[in-house]
């Protein structure tokens, strides 16, 4: 049961992911969480290095900001980074994942979900059978709704460490 929160890949940030390896695996679409994966939660900070990364990745992948947040926030980032968006995704539920697969004519094996939360980003991707990539949050400040998830996450990380599944700061592909 605990393994439903275990990511396939664990990296420090979106900048340390081996995208060449993902392409070789047949990944065609990258679903990026927004808050604390791309930008600090509650802030509108647009990073030039993220724009450069996305512009480079768009040659090989469909990039989608896949967020539980509202269109008013997510669309600003989608416009700045010139990528598609999926708002109010209700992660970890499967509905929006299925919608993305159908809309973009993708197979589960062609999609990777990238995010900073075990309970939403990783669990949702794992439920769908897509590749999941956990990255560290870029800020310690979270949305109010995320606070409880972070408390549960701490307990899950402790179990992962006890079972030697995943140790915080020990990254893997």
- pTM for this model (two decimals): 0.95
Tens of pLDDT, residues 32-88: 999 999 999 988 999 999 999 999 999 999 999 999 999 999 999 999 999 999 999
Does the pLDDT at position 142 exceed 90? Answer: no
Order of strands, sheet of 84-86, starting from the edge strand that comes earlier in the sequence? 9-11, 131-135, 111-115, 29-32, 62-66, 84-86
| Within a domain: 173 | no
- CATH number for the domain that contains residue 155: 3.40.50.1000
Number of domains into which the chain is organized: 1
| Within a domain: 81 | yes
**How far is it, in rounded angstroms, from Cα 139 to Cα 39?**
8
| Within a domain: 70 | yes
- What's the whole-number average pLDDT of the chain? 95
| Within a domain: 112 | yes
Tens of pLDDT, residues 77-104: 999 999 999 999 999 999 999 999 999 9
| Within a domain: 11 | yes
């Amino acid at each position: 049961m605990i393994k439903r929160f275990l990511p396939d890949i664990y990296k420090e940030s979106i900048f340390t992911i081996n995208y060449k390896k993902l392409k070789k695996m047949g990944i065609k679409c990258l679903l990026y969480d927004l808050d604390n994966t791309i930008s600090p939660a509650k802030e509108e900070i647009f990073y030039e290095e993220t724009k450069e990364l996305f512009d480079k990745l768009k040659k090989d992948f469909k990039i989608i900001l896949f967020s539980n947040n509202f269109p008013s926030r997510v669309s600003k980032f989608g416009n700045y980074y010139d990528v598609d968006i999926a708002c109010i995704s209700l992660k970890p539920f499967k509905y929006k994942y299925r919608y993305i697969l159908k809309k973009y004519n993708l197979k589960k094996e062609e999609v990777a979900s990238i995010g900073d939360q075990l309970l939403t980003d990783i669990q949702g991707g794992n439920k769908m059978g897509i590749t999941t990539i956990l990255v560290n949050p870029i800020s310690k400040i979270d949305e109010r709704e995320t606070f409880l998830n972070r408390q549960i996450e701490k307990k899950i990380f402790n179990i992962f460490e006890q079972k030697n599944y995943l140790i915080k700061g020990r990254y893997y592909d």
